[in-house]
Amino acid sequence: MSEEVLVSIRNLHATANGTPILKGIDLDLRAGEVHAVMGPNGSGKSTLSNVLVGKPGYEVTKGEILFRGKNLLEMEPEIRAREGVFLAFQYPVEIPGVANNYFLRTAVNAARAHRGLDPLDAMDFLSLLREKMKIVEMPDDMMKRAINEGFSGGEKKRNEILQMLLLEPDFCILDETDSGLDIDALRIVAGGVNRMRSPERAMLVITHYQRLLDYVVPDRVHVLSKGRIVRSGDKDLALELEEKGYGWIETGDAAGARS
Amino acid sequence: MSPALESLARLALARARDAAPAWIERLREEAAVVAREQGLPSRRLEAWKGTSLAKLEALDFVRVGPGAEPARPDAQPARARATAETPDDAIELVFVDGRFEAFASRTTDLPEGVSVRSLAELLVSEPEALEGRLGTLAEPKGPSLVALQTSWLEDGAVVAIDRDVQLATPIRLRFLATADAADAPSAAFPRLLVVAGRGSQATLFQDFACEGDAPGLTNFVAELHIEAGARLEAIELQRETAPRVHVTQTHARLERDARLDSTVLSLGTGLVRSELSVALAEPGAETRMAGFFLGREDGHVDHYTTVDHAAPHCTSVEEYRGVLDDHSKGVFRGRVIVRPGAQKTDAKQSNPNLLLSDRATIDTKPQLEIYADDVKASHGSTIGQLDAEALFFLRARGIDEARARLMLTRAFAHSVVDGVGEAAIREELRERVDAALATTHGALDAEESV
């Protein structure tokens, strides 16, 4: 495993629409690592992912996030994306009237331009797209349709993974990607995620349940409660949580067990 | 009288007389009297609250109709360009400043049962074909510019589709205005009469453009008679540029089980007043009225629509979408009249608007007048900015904000264009819409970035 710290979150405090949510998060992700963040509803999991990608409505009040040593918080959302930060959304938005394939090519070429590469023409893009679509088992006609319009919950999540496969980000954040998936869709999504695992990349898998972690086995597991990481451990911690529930964390004894 | 009406009256006295029959001459003269008495509509009138014609009133017109005659067809680049974009097998009529230009038009090899001719020619050669049709739907009265237009009733297009004829090729009408500073202000008064015979089917594309940047007026009147069971798709594209004033008044009447699919696009930059009035006169008639308007710079776009449910079991679905940028102003009035006895009426109307700038305004008002009790009627207008979630999603995928805004604005407009049934015209309209939107706020940065 590489020693290089790719993402460094230090003493991160953030508010969502003025309400304090994150109250001091410290987390380092090294290249090649997969970290899972688990926690009950309202613990700050989604706020953490939204702050990482710069969603409006969230304000960082203290602390910093470094990505490859650069201050992430100073970058516009589109620059973070082009630098290689990617969030697979919990609730992917439907955008009527914007064709999926046109959107994807625009996004891929924006990232390429950022890296000083020539844009892909329609033909080259199409062959790249076909290759990645196979991985998430998406039929051709979904590309001509508007972004996520009329897609089932599973199709939307597969579309998120497709975007990740095309954009090849170095820091992938998955926000409750497993929620609402049946077992087949979960297998496909997990397959796509595992394809992205590499010694150069880091992943942050945010989830409420252990389910996805059976397929995407994490190197580290962190438990988030009331805006703080209250416990960290290896993959066994996820199993322990599954067994005992979050109540166990939120009662006093978790504090003493912080690792 | 305003300088505009005074100068037009002076020009009317000087014009050459044609050999039109007495009833046409009477129609013109009566219209001229009404136009003089009424003057141009003022903002005191309910139907004109949103739009002032003060700019038009001040114009001292020096000509009506075409400027100097070209020595040969290709001597006039504007005329040649007007036809350059059209496929070879098209049926096309070209009008320059309201006057039919035979050399630039393609009206030969028409299928049997289809007649596409110039009004000027018909007024002389076959005026009986116009009787009971011309001037009957768009009556020269009321607060409009129809009376003024009718007083200049000279030329335009007359389209007749015989019973049960299905015309696959769209009929294209290109109305080009020349706005040379040398002989401005000028006015054009083109006219359109359509008779879609029983059970017939046809597509009509009307394209209004201008060359030059001198002030002027295009005042257009269309009458669409759609007989029982006929289907007509009518597409109107307005792309005249400031400071020209564009006024258009379309009146359609649908008989039993007839259908009108209307798409109106206002992409120009000047002052636009566009009136569309659809009478569902007999049971089972159906109309879809789609519109898209774009306001830029100090442009002013006013769409005044009326659907008259005069018979039971008729359906109307109307959606006009507006995008307003810079300090432009949009006006939308959607009148829906349901007459006594027009039971089982189904009338839907909506007017969503996007404001791209803080200084842009929209004045939107539905106007429902319902006198029957077994009716489904809905309406809604919205004024908003782009969807923040969608905008963020695109940015989170690396697309810069300006381009993301443009993508979403285009999508908003395309939903209107996508309803056009004729594929080649739909493509042309998409390109026109994209080109127009590319000049809006922030869009220019977007073009450079990807």
What does the domain layout of chain A look like in residue ranges? 5-256
Whether B401 has its CB under 8 Å from any CB of chain A: the answer is yes
Whether B448 has its CB under 8 Å from any CB of chain A: the answer is no
Cβ-defined contact of B390 to A56 (cutoff 8 Å): no
Q: Which of B397, B401, B406 to mutate to test the interface with A (most CBs of A within 10 A)?
A: B397
- Give the span between the Cα atoms of B199 and B254, in whole angstroms: 12
Whether B391 has its CB under 8 Å from any CB of chain A: the answer is no
DSSP character at residue B166: B
Comparing A245 with B278, the larger pLDDT belongs to B278
DSSP string, A99-154: EHHHHHHHHHHHHHHHTTPPPP-HHHHHHHHHHHHHHTT--THHHHSEETTT--HH
Output the pLDDT for position B72: 44
Nearest Cα to Cα of residue B317 among B342, B292, B340, B334: B334
Output the pLDDT for position B85: 60
Comparing B84 with B367, the larger pLDDT belongs to B367
Cβ-defined contact of B411 to A98 (cutoff 8 Å): yes
pLDDT at B434 over 50: yes
Contact by Cβ (8 Å): B375, B342: yes
Whether B304 has its CB under 8 Å from any CB of chain A: the answer is no
The mean pLDDT value of chain B amounts to 91
Residues 6+ apart with CB under 8 A from B171: B91, B92, B93, B116, B159, B202, B203, B204, B205
Cβ-defined contact of B400 to A110 (cutoff 8 Å): yes
Cβ-defined contact of B396 to A167 (cutoff 8 Å): no
State residue B185 phi and psi, 5-degree precision: -70, 145
- Give the span between the Cα atoms of A113 and A125, in whole angstroms: 14
**CA of B391, closest CA in chain A: separation in Å?**
9
The model's confidence at residue A28, banded by pLDDT at 50, 70 and 90, is very high
The model's confidence at residue A101, banded by pLDDT at 50, 70 and 90, is very high
Output the pLDDT for position B337: 97
Nearest Cα to Cα of residue A80 among B395, B251, B165: B395
Residue A227, Cβ neighbours under 10 Å: how many?
A: 21
Q: Which amino acid is at A111?
A: A
pLDDT tens digit sequence for B145-172: 999 999 999 999 999 999 999 999 999 9
| Chain A positions in Cβ-Cβ contact with residue B395 (cut-off 8 Å) | 76-78, 81
Lowest mean pLDDT, pick from B14-18, B86-90, B238-242: B86-90
Nearest chain B residue to A52, by CA: B396
Contact by Cβ (8 Å): A98, B408: yes
Comparing B182 with A31, the larger pLDDT belongs to A31
Option in B390, B401, B407 nearest A78 (CB): B401
Whether B434 has its CB under 8 Å from any CB of chain A: the answer is no
**CA of B437, closest CA in chain A: separation in Å?**
15
Give the three-state DSSP class for B35. helix
Nearest Cα to Cα of residue B213 among B149, B276, B293, B297: B297
The mean pLDDT value of chain A amounts to 91
Give the three-state DSSP class for B353. strand
> Which ipTM was obtained for this model?
0.94
Output the pLDDT for position B450: 40
Contact by Cβ (8 Å): B55, B271: yes
- Give the span between the Cα atoms of B56 and B38, in whole angstroms: 15
Cβ-defined contact of B450 to A163 (cutoff 8 Å): no
Which ranges constitute the DSSP H helices of chain A?
45-53, 77-83, 100-114, 122-135, 141-144, 153-167, 183-196, 235-244, 247-250, 253-256
pLDDT at B142 over 90: no
Output the pLDDT for position A250: 66
pLDDT at A43 over 70: yes
pLDDT tens digit sequence for A73-88: 999 999 999 999 999 9
pLDDT at A218 over 60: yes
Cβ-defined contact of B393 to A93 (cutoff 8 Å): yes
Output the pLDDT for position B184: 85
Q: What is the CATH number of domain A5-256?
A: 3.40.50.300
Residues 6+ apart with CB under 8 A from B419: B261, B263, B288, B290
**CA of A97, closest CA in chain B: separation in Å?**
4
Contact by Cβ (8 Å): A53, A80: yes
Whether B408 has its CB under 8 Å from any CB of chain A: the answer is yes
**How many A/B residue pairs have CB atoms within 8 Å?**
81
- With an 8 Å Cβ cutoff, the interface of chain A facing chain B consists of 53-56, 76-78, 80-82, 87, 89, 92-93, 95-98, 103, 106-107, 109-111, 113-114, 119, 146-147, 163, 167
Output the pLDDT for position B143: 83
Task: Write out the two tokens for A246.
Answer: 């979050």
Cα Rg of chain B (Å, integer): 21
- Give the span between the Cα atoms of B100 and B121, in whole angstroms: 9
The model's confidence at residue A257, banded by pLDDT at 50, 70 and 90, is very low
Q: Which of B292, B395, B437 to mutate to test the interface with A (most CBs of A within 10 A)?
A: B395
